[in-house]
Structures are given as structure tokens and as C-alpha cells.
Chain A
Amino acid sequence: MDFFEAQERARRITWKLIALYLIAVILIITSIYLVTLVVFGFAGQAPPDASLLQQLWQPELLLAVSTVIVIVILAGTLFRIAQLRKGGSAVAEMLGGRKVEPSTRNPKERQLMNVVEEMSIASGIPVPDVYILDNEENINAFAAGFGTNDAAVGVTRGTLEQLNRDELQGVIAHEFSHIFNGDMRLNIRLIGILNGILLLHIMGMILMRSAAFSRIGGGGRGGRGGGAQAALAMILLGLALLIIGYIGMLFGRMIQAAISRQREYLADAAAVQYTRNPDGLAGALRKIGQTKEGGKINDGHAMEMSHLFFANSFNSALDRVFATHPPLEMRIRAIDPAFDQEDAKKKARIRKRMEKDRIAGAEAKARQTSGSASGQPGHAFGGLESAHPALRPEVILAAIGTIGEDQVNQAGKLLNSIPGALREAAHEPLGAEALVIALLLAGREPATNQVPDWFRKQAGEQMTDQTNILLNSLNKGEREWFLPLAELAMPALRQMSESQYDHFRDTIERMIREDENVSLFEFAMEKLIVRQLETTYSETKKPSIHHFHFKTLGNEVTLLLSAMAHASESDTEKAWAAGLEPVREFLPDDIQLLPLEECTFEKLDAALDEISASANPVKKYIITALVHAITSDDRVSVRERELMRTISEAIDCPIPLGVL
């Protein structure tokens, strides 16, 4: 299953979710209707001698009940979803998370940051914000957000203290696979739905309490007669609402469990695939099993968000029906067949096969690399070169939205090869600002080694000096560092206050527009930073999907393909033809390669906005076409790589490190 299919499947599950939601609402309305019917003695409208059916069917009452229920549930749902619009950080903070300083010096926190950074760079998504739930002692973790741009990953204090690096990596890989499987968006909708139903429960409790309260008050004042009658009515109403609330909760939790359990198996499997190390994940699961409370989360929101977590966040007597996660033993068994001692042989066999696969894979890669690497320019980083897979479109497409063990190792190597001063700067807001400016200057064509005077005046001596130092080491360093460094800097940049961000944005805009010609790298950086930070600092509306077909995207696709063809360093016509091939049937016949002058960044920017609002199958075809254009000459130029990176980032299709 590829990335696009996984995303699409998550979308389909959303429909299932909506269907279940509707069923739940209908069932709730029915039950409440029946309860009210009993409580209010079949209301007065029906004549006493009416048939059973006539007594049961009272449209006015039904209408009243439905109106109230629908209003309550809808209000609760929409309200919560609106609240979580802000993305992963909002969820993490709601759970009482503390953001980990990217520049932290605490060894455990540092390790966590390193694992997350490696995983992000390996998969080609910007580094998410990382949170620690300081008040939670049990082992658990979560990922939240709408997409790769506003994701947040959180772990409990217990996780940090009790797991070793491999186990932590397994847990983080599991969370990353939730990001790639499109589970996060689903999860947020699920929280909204649960909140709507939960609100009903809360209201039931409030009314029950006020009923009990008014009984005391009423009894004192009115004596017998009317007062006693009203009090009894209130108690019965309160009881009814309590039942309602309970029914609602039951439905809510059943929906939650139904959706969540299968996603967890999927995420476990993916996590093993990412790290190729079932022991890490299995070890983490085993440690959860060994603690008395399992993965229990004490925060008040744990119930409605339990499907978000790595392991069951609360324990229930009816685990089979309500557990949001499969039993730990089953999960361990699924990824690590040697859980039982008798299965040790099976485990050994699987190990062996995996080892064989790996050797075969490495050999294949080595063969292909030696065949195609001869003509690859601008690829100075050794580790990347040797692990460069075949430049076959299928391989590249299959790799989108996944991580392999090699990539994680490579990411580690790449990060370690970056000088400490650059990495440190990326971890700290002021340094990250200087770093972005330095990256923009170093990425200019032709590269400069001088910070402009206006910047010195505006930002002051010390900032300029720091920028200069960073610029120097960038100019001496590798091009491969540039985009990963920008992605590393994101969590630190997100720590700026709003006014600091406004200022920063003006500065980078000026820096980019200053020299008349905007380079591709500058465009990529602007796109990356704006997309990333804009979601933090302004309430940008997430575009809803409105392109389900190529027909409406003809111009955009032509533009993208033309730009990619021009980015090729050899034969533009050939690249254009190769790129057109997979999508020809969807496009008009008279389609023509656009001249270079017409492929402006403004147009490209607009086209990417449109394409990011298209359905997954459409995106897949577009990416396929672009990949074919890139590989037509069996080599990837720096321009091609950067353009592809920008495009994939802009339309949320993360391409792992070293694949292109």
C-alpha cells in the first residue's frame, strides 16, 4: 500500500466514521424519545383509547427531542473541532504537555529530540514540535495535528525515563506512521464527535444535579401538592438525562474503539518497517505490559483522546468492546512472533529472511548505483551517494511517505556531519533566524559571502556577526545540509512571538526580493517557511479538497511539468515528453511545453496552492508525472531535486531522504 492509498483509506474511514456518528445520533434520539415517552406517561396528546402504535408515535415530541439532541451534539462537535484547528500543539497543550526546548541540554530530552529529528529528516517532513507530559508516569505517547505542517509529537515522562533509545525510536516511528497514514486528521474529527456526545452526558449530569438541588428547595417551600409533583418530575427528568448521557457515552466509546484498533495494528507494522527493528517496539510494548497501570493517562482529557495514544490510556472492565488499542500481547505477537518461547525458531527464520532481504537490497542498490552514479553532479555527500536507490520512478513513488532503516541511519549520519555550530544555531530562536538568513544568502545564485549593509543596520552588530559566521560555514559546507537545516530550525522558529515573526518575515522577504533574480532555492525556502510558520501564527484556512479530476487542473499540471522539464540539465524536450507520458490521457491533446519565461515563481506558487487542494489519486498522478520527468535522463540535478522537494512539501507528500 503506498502513501496515497493510505491517505485515501484514512479518508474513506472518515466516511465510515460519519456513518457511525449518524447511527449513534439516531439511536440516541430514539432512546431518549422512548425514555421521555415513559417518563411523561405517553404525553397527553393521544386519546386514552388510542392503539399502541398511536401512543408510541408522537411527532411533536419526536421533533422536540431531535431538535434538542441534534443541537447539543452538533454544537459540541463543531466547537471542539474549531478549537483543535490550531493543530497538534493545541492538542498537546490541552493534555498538559510542555514543549521541549529544541536546544535542551537535559540528556533524556536531547535523546528524544535527536530521535525525532532523525526520523523527520529521514522522512522528509519538517521537524514537529515535541512535547512531554510531565505529570504522567506511565509509558505512552501520541501524535496530533492536521498534516505534516502542524504536527506535534508527545511522550509521557515515564516513556522518557523507562525506555532505551531503540524502544523510544520504535514508539516515535509508530507515531510517525500515524502522521503518514492520515490518522491525525481522523483523530481530531473523532475527538470532535466524542465531545459532542460527551456534552450530552455532561448536560445530563448538570440537570441531574440541579434536579436534586431543586428537590430540596422545593420540598421546603411548597410542602405537598404541586411542589412534590414538580420535584418528582425533575428527578425523573434528571434520571432520564443520566440514562441519555450514559447511552451517548457508550455509543461514543464504541465508535472510538471501532476506528482506533485497526489503525494501531497498521501503525505498529509501519513502525517496524521504518526501523527494521521489531525488538525496539516490542520492548516498549512489553515494558508497558509490565507496569501495573499499563499506559494509563491521568489527565482529564484522556478518555476522549484515548485513540490518540500509543497504548490504552485508560482501563475499562469491558476491554473487548471499548479498548481503543488491541491487547498488548496481540500487538507484540503481531510484530514479534517470538513472544512465546516456542516461537523462537520462527523468529530466527524471520530474522534470517530479513537479513537476506537486506543484503539482496544492498546488492541491488550497489549495482544500480554503479550504473547510474557516474553522471551525477552536485552530489558531494558520500553517504547519500552510496545509498542512492535506482532512479526508477516506481521505486521513488513507493518510497513516498515511508521511512526505511537506511534512511534513518543516513539521517543520523547527515545530522552528525553538520558542524555543531550550525546545528546549535538551528535549535535556538535567535540562532535559527540568523541561520535562515545565512541559508538564503548561501543559496543565492551566484552565492555571496557578505551580509548586506541594510541587514547590519536593521538587526544590529551581533546578529550580523552571527549570520556571517554561519554563512561562512555554510559556504564551506555541503549543499545537502541546506534544506535539512531549514527543517531542523522550524521548532525554534515557532518559538518567536507574533511581533518577532512579523519582523522576521519582512526581513526574509526583503532578503529574497533584494537581488532581482529569485533563485529556486530561495523560492523553496520561502515556501517552506511560510507554509510552516503561517499555520502557527495566523489562522490560515486549510483548503478543502475541490479538485477530484485533472480536467480542472490542466494549466497547473502543464506549468509544473514545464518547470520540471526546464530544471533538467540535459534534454528539456525529453524530460517533458517523459513526464507527459503517464498523464497524457487525462490532459487535452494540444498541450504544449511552456517556455521558461512563463514558468515564473508567482505562477508556480498559485499552481501549488490549487494542487494541494486536490484529491489523493490526482496528487499521485502529478507526482508520478514529475518523477518520470526527473528520471528521464537518469540523473537528478540539484535544481530538479530542490524543485521536487518544494512541490512535494507544498502538497504534503513527504519524499524520504536520499530517494531523489
Chain B
Amino acid sequence: MLYIAETFPHWIRSFFKSISHSLAHTFMTTLIIILVLLVVMVGFIVAIYNRLVALRNRFKNAFAQIDVQLKRRYDLIPNLVETAKGYMKHERGTLEAVIQARNQAQQVEKEVAREPGDPESMKKLAGAEQGLSGALGRLFALSENYPDLKANQNMMQLSEELSSTENKIAFARQSFNDAVMTYNTAREKFPNILFANMFGFSPAQLFEIETTEERQAPDVSF
């Protein structure tokens, strides 16, 4: 090493000497302080970042739970309508409204599944789900007038399964909302909020079904 240094042109050596004599001591001290501060800061920011990523993943995974049940419900509804059709010949409008609401909700669900928590699409999904629940509620209310339909084995099974799916959705929704809440709180805390926007962590939207009337699973008991 020494020899390499010896072969340096004179001006470089004198440059080294001049900075080293005057600066070496203070320079090293400053360097240490800067580096330590840098480590602490980088570590701190990385910690915030990773925590937010973990929380975001958690609520996304929680949405997958809802998603499975929503899909299950969308699969059940056409069968239900098909069964009901045979009995409720004069209620075509209601039956079509159910199918339409179901198709719409399914479409929104696909959109949400790509980016769960996105405020706009979450609200759309809540709206669509509300519409579907409403349409189903009307169908079941009307079915009271058709004792044969109520006695149909297939119909009983389907409505039983539908109500159990509703239950699972409600449970999964609570889990999702808890996860979103934890994420949002962590995001808004100081100093996390300073970095959250920088790294693109936008606030997530709860999956709420708004009116108290809709909060209850539709009454599907026969």
C-alpha cells in the first residue's frame, strides 16, 4: 500500500497530507456521527415501511376471505332463481332484478379483488352488495306466498346454504374491517404519516353495509 502511495504524483500526496493534517481528525469524527445517524434513520424508515407493507398485506389477505364467500354466494343465486322460477311464474320482474343485482355485484367484486381497500371501489361493492341483499330480501318476502316453493327440498337447501354464506361474509367482513382499521391507524400515526404518502400507502376503506336495515342478513328462514 505504501508503495502505491509513494508512486502517486507529488501534488496528490501533498493534497492528502494537507487534508489529512487539518481534517483527518474532525473528519473521522464527523463521518462516524453521520454514518450512525444515517443507519438509525435508514433503519427507522425501513421499519415503518415494512410494518405498513405487512399491515396492508394482512387486510388484503383478509379480503380474500370475504371474496371466497362472495363468489360462493354469486354461484348459489342463479340456482336459487332457477328453482324459484318454476313456482313464481308471475314474479319475473323480481327474479330478473335478483339476477341483475347479482351480475352487477359480481362485476364490482372482480374489480375490488384486484385492489382491495380502494375507497371508491369498496363503496361501490358495498352499494352493489346492498342492492343484491335488497333484491334477495324481496324475493324471499314474495316466496311467502308460495307454500309449494317453501316446501321444495332444493329451495330449502339453497336458502340454508345462502344464509350460512351470509354469516360467513359477516364474520369475514368484521375481520377485514379490523385489519383495515389497524392499517389505517398505523398509517396515520406520527411519524408514519410523513412517509406513508411518500411510499404510496393510501388510506383503505372499510367494507361497511350502511343502513341498519341491511346490517342484518336477509331473512331467509322459511
B167–A93 CB distance below 8 A = no
Contact partners of B176 in chain A: CB under 8 A: 497
Contact partners of A105 in chain B: CB under 8 A: 68, 71-72
**Which of A56, A98, A206 touches B64 (beta carbons < 8 Å)?**
A98
Contact partners of B24 in chain A: CB under 8 A: 40, 43-45
**Which of B29, B50, B172, B174 touches A94 (beta carbons < 8 Å)?**
B50
B20–A79 CB distance below 8 A = no
Decide if A430 is an interface residue (CB 8 Å cutoff).
Answer: yes
Binds B, one of A65-73, A365-373, A518-526, A621-629: A65-73
Contact partners of A76 in chain B: CB under 8 A: 39, 43
Given A42-B5, A72-B39, A94-B53, is A104 in contact with B17 using a C-beta cutoff of 8 Å?
no
A99 to B2, CA, bound (A): 58
Decide if B65 is an interface residue (CB 8 Å cutoff).
Answer: yes
B64–A99 CB distance below 8 A = yes
A99–B61 CB distance below 8 A = yes
- How far does the Cβ of A300 sit from chain B's closest Cβ, in whole Å? 12
* B49-76 Cβ-contact flags toward A at 8 Å (1 or 0): 0100110011011101100110110000
A428 to B177, CA, bound (A): 17
Decide if A233 is an interface residue (CB 8 Å cutoff).
Answer: yes
Decide if A34 is an interface residue (CB 8 Å cutoff).
Answer: yes
A40–B42 CB distance below 8 A = no
**Which of A101, A203, A233, A496 touches B175 (beta carbons < 8 Å)?**
A496
Contact partners of A37 in chain B: CB under 8 A: 1
B35–A68 CB distance below 8 A = yes
A202–B164 CB distance below 8 A = no
Interface size on B, residues (CB 8 A): 56
Decide if B47 is an interface residue (CB 8 Å cutoff).
Answer: yes
Which chain A residue has the least Cβ–Cβ distance from B18? Answer: A229
A83–B39 CB distance below 8 A = no
Decide if B179 is an interface residue (CB 8 Å cutoff).
Answer: yes
A45 to B28, CA, bound (A): 13
**Which of A56, A68, A429, A466 touches B164 (beta carbons < 8 Å)?**
A466
A72–B35 CB distance below 8 A = yes
- How far does the Cβ of B21 sit from chain A's closest Cβ, in whole Å? 4
Given A94-B53, A232-B15, A431-B168, is A40 in contact with B36 using a C-beta cutoff of 8 Å?
no
B39–A199 CB distance below 8 A = yes
**Which of A56, A75, A206 touches B43 (beta carbons < 8 Å)?**
A75
Given A52-B2, A497-B179, is A40 in contact with B19 using a C-beta cutoff of 8 Å?
yes
- How far does the Cβ of A501 sit from chain B's closest Cβ, in whole Å? 10
A101–B65 CB distance below 8 A = yes
Contact partners of B16 in chain A: CB under 8 A: 40-42
Instruction: Give A residues with C-beta under 8 Å from B.
Output: 34, 37-38, 40-45, 52, 55-56, 60-61, 64, 67-68, 71-72, 75-76, 79, 83, 86, 90, 93-94, 98-99, 101, 103-105, 199, 202-203, 206, 229, 232-233, 237, 428-431, 462-463, 466, 495-500
Instruction: Give B residues with C-beta under 8 Å from A.
Output: 1-2, 4-5, 13, 15-24, 27-29, 31-32, 35-36, 38-40, 42-43, 46-47, 50, 53-54, 57-58, 60-62, 64-65, 68-69, 71-72, 163-164, 167-168, 171-172, 174-179, 182
Shortest Cβ-Cβ A-B pairs, 8 listed: A41-B16, A497-B178, A44-B21, A497-B175, A44-B20, A430-B171, A93-B57, A99-B61
A sample of 23 cross-chain residue pairs with beta-carbon separation below 8 angstroms, ordered by A number, consists of A40-B27, A41-B5, A42-B2, A43-B24, A44-B17, A64-B29, A68-B35, A71-B36, A72-B39, A79-B43, A86-B54, A98-B64, A99-B64, A105-B72, A199-B42, A206-B42, A229-B19, A428-B68, A429-B171, A431-B168, A462-B167, A463-B167, A500-B174
